[in-house]
Amino acid sequence: MEIWLQSFPVALLMFCRISSFFVTAPVFSARNVPASFKIGISAFVTLTVYMTFGIHQTVPTDLSYILLIIREILIGLLLGFVAYLLMTAVQTAGAFIDIQIGFGIANVYDPMTGASAPLTGNFKYAFAMLLFLTMNGHHYLLDGIVYSYKWIPLSNVFFLRLADGSIAEFLVRTFAQSFLLAFQMAAPVVVALFLTDVGLGFLAKTAPQFNVFAVGMPLKVLVGIAILLLLVPSFAFVFGQLFEVMFRSMEKLLGTIGQRPV
């Protein structure tokens, strides 16, 4: 009974961090993933982590234990949110393209997130998810949450990092990096459509009798789809770079909250 009373609070803290990570992490946080699966994999990973890092650890069981639970939940949410934030760069790039191509008024319901999403963003996001699973990205996510206990043990200084602004500064930088990556992914199509608009503008000036509005929309759709077809072979390289940035950002977050293990 004494061993049980010592091990259960430690395992519960680990379960809080791991389950909150699966709530926000890409792939695992999708709405079509059953809640029973999330709970089950959280319990299994918690058991693995406890057998590796949690044996012989003790935590206080007074009122301060509530603060420990909140701290672990915030760490798991932040770790998953950073990965998800960079993954949303794909849909942001699709939104940039849709605004230029004219698909912005045809946003569709995305069952993965439960929100309205751009057409091109959904197309590229499906490619990104397939490549992410093909490259075993979900394994790297599991590695990240498991080995976070080497970087950020249960006795960490998360609230101090939160108070001195280190985590807020990191999140702002990550958001800016996500927006920049989205603009870079959308740049070829956006530039091509901008040049198409310039050409249509010259056409409207040189031939005023020509109905530019009747030709402009179909032409922009054709140009946009043609450029997308040309860019599909490069998706593997582009998304590979995006995933590399994602995992590097997760590592930086672990280093911001804790410290690199020796």
pLDDT band at 248 (very low <50, low <70, confident <90, very high): very high
What's residue 27's pLDDT? Answer: 86
- Reduce the DSSP state of residue 158 to 3 states and report it: helix
The reported pLDDT for the residue numbered 1 is 57
Instruction: Kindly report the backbone phi and psi dihedral angles of residue 115, in degrees, each rounded to the nearest multiple of 5, phi listed first.
Output: -130, 170
φ and ψ at 58, to 5 degrees?
Answer: -130, 150
| Measured distance CA(19)–CA(38) in Å, rounded | 7
- pTM equals 0.84
Burial 64-97, CB ≥16 within 10 A → b, else e: eeeebeebbbbbbbbbbbbbbbbbbbbbbbbbbb
List the Cα angle 99/101/103 in 5-degree steps.
65
Sequence spans of domains, the chain: 79-257
The confidence band for 70, taking pLDDT boundaries of 50, 70 and 90, is very high
Of the candidates 163, 174, 178, 153, the one whose C-alpha atom is nearest the C-alpha of residue 49 is 153
pLDDT, tens only, 74-93: 999 999 999 999 888 888 88
37 burial class (0-12, 13-18, 19+ CB within 10 angstroms)? exposed
Binned at pLDDT 50, 70 and 90, residue 115 comes out as low
